[in-house]
Structure 1
């Protein structure tokens, strides 16, 4: 994947990405590596993450670093953030990408399922921010990009806990932007449409479902993980230095 634009200020930046080993996260990892950033990413899956690091290391200014952790485990999350800072210097770009859009019916949701789903899709956003903010404050700058989803905007059924979390990401983004702005830290969100990751293709993409979605998009082509890279790089870079508390919707014009 070739970068659509080069952001010189991202070169040598310490970037931390959650869920950076596959899907949209892998595309984001590749995008920041292509900018010459010092990238560390957190993921649970060892094999694809190590393969990604091997693939991206050849010719890279800085080889990406994989940190294995379960983001539901706050102690492990904090340790991972500390390791990223030790490897690459204080994190000044944080991308909260990790999520899991499992389908679930209202009648099947237990307290335990709800709490685990929120821990997977929302809670870690806050605690990763908490972990890296001291370094950003010391640097006098920082950019945080949280990944939401248009699913909560579409009145989409079949996954109420997930859509609650994705709506919550927007509320968290705006609240953090207000609190962290005085320290030169910007906080924004990207809200993707239906992106054709391998997970989506394996579990939910059918010819009928894809056709229905494309009928709703202004752009008549499936969205790919690479389509999320440009918006994220823009928000992370000084090109967006006056942008905070915003949600950049990247959904192909879904209506």
Structure 2
């Protein structure tokens, strides 16, 4: 297959949270391949540094995104190092399963601190740069689980639902500054984490019964949709939740 190249992404500064593995690492690779200047953060420092060393010019910082000051400082520092950030991809998340009845206040707060708060904090940090640059694109990774509400994921589902609404609100508020804000909702993306923890032959067979397209949904499929949302080709797309789930919903 031959995939699109986006001239408008060349030299554009892109900041990605959770970029050391899984979908995030694929996002880093795909934007770098388009000629963008890519900055990313992740708690996994060894993996992040290895990826940055492999991709010439990529900027990486080890960062706990639940530390508000550390995350916002990383956004500002990346802007100082590479130029104004005009594409932000809020990718970081943790979909660890947990029965809702056993949630403690502290566990609930920890879940939101990684799945929701960084979306707000990184967006606020990047806003001045995008406004001064004359616009930008913010892409917030949501999930079709926000629509279905599967069991044992109450905190994750709540955060993803909030991301959908937040994206709509920011799109309306920041539209006059030519800042576009969209949510991107994948279905079951087969990452290394999924392979290790949850992808069994039985689970995959059940998923295949629910989708229109029977091929596995891969990180690169999600990344290619993000490329479109970041490029000028989608200049009039904002406030939307774009679903990529092989026809599950």
Instruction: State the TM-score, normalized to the length of structure 1.
Output: 0.95
In structure 2, the residue matched to 1:37 is 36
In structure 2, the residue matched to 1:47 is 46
Deviation at 1:230, TM superposition (A): 1.1
How many residue pairs get matched? 249
In structure 2, the residue matched to 1:214 is 208
Counterpart Cα distance in 1 of 2:60 and 2:209:
38
**Superposed CA offset, 1:207-231 (max 9, x none):** 1111111111111011111110111
**Superposed CA offset, 1:119-158 (max 9, x none):** 1101110110000100111111110000000012123111
Is 1:191 the equivalent of 2:185?
A: yes
In structure 2, the residue matched to 1:149 is 143
In structure 1, the residue matched to 2:60 is 66
Instruction: State the TM-score, normalized to the length of structure 2.
Output: 0.98
Deviation at 1:56, TM superposition (A): 2.5
Counterpart Cα distance in 1 of 2:149 and 2:139:
24
Selected match of 2:161 from 156, 167, 189: 167
Is 1:181 the equivalent of 2:202?
A: no
**Superposed CA offset, 1:31-73 (max 9, x none):** 100110000001010111122122222xxxxx21111110000
Pairing of 1:222-237 with structure 2 (within 5 A): 222-237=216-231
Counterpart Cα distance in 2 of 1:129 and 1:169:
12
Counterpart Cα distance in 1 of 2:24 and 2:205:
25
Contact 2:45 2:61 in 1 (8 A): no
Task: Name stretches of at least 5 consecutive residues in structure 2 with no aligned partner.
Answer: none
Contact 1:3 1:31 in 2 (8 A): no
Contact 2:184 2:244 in 1 (8 A): yes
Shift of the 3–121 alpha-carbon distance from structure 1 to 2, 3 Å rule, reads farther
Selected match of 1:125 from 114, 119, 126: 119
In structure 2, the residue matched to 1:60 is none
Is 1:75 the equivalent of 2:75?
A: no
SS at match of 2:85: coil
Counterpart Cα distance in 2 of 1:188 and 1:23:
21
SS at match of 1:103: coil
SS at match of 1:187: strand
Task: Name stretches of at least 5 consecutive residues in structure 1 with no aligned partner.
Answer: 58-62
Runs of 4+ in structure 1 deviating by more than 4 angstroms, as ranges, are: none
Deviation at 1:3, TM superposition (A): 7.5
Shift of the 234–3 alpha-carbon distance from structure 1 to 2, 3 Å rule, reads farther
**Superposed CA offset, 1:74-111 (max 9, x none):** 01011111111011111000000000101000121100
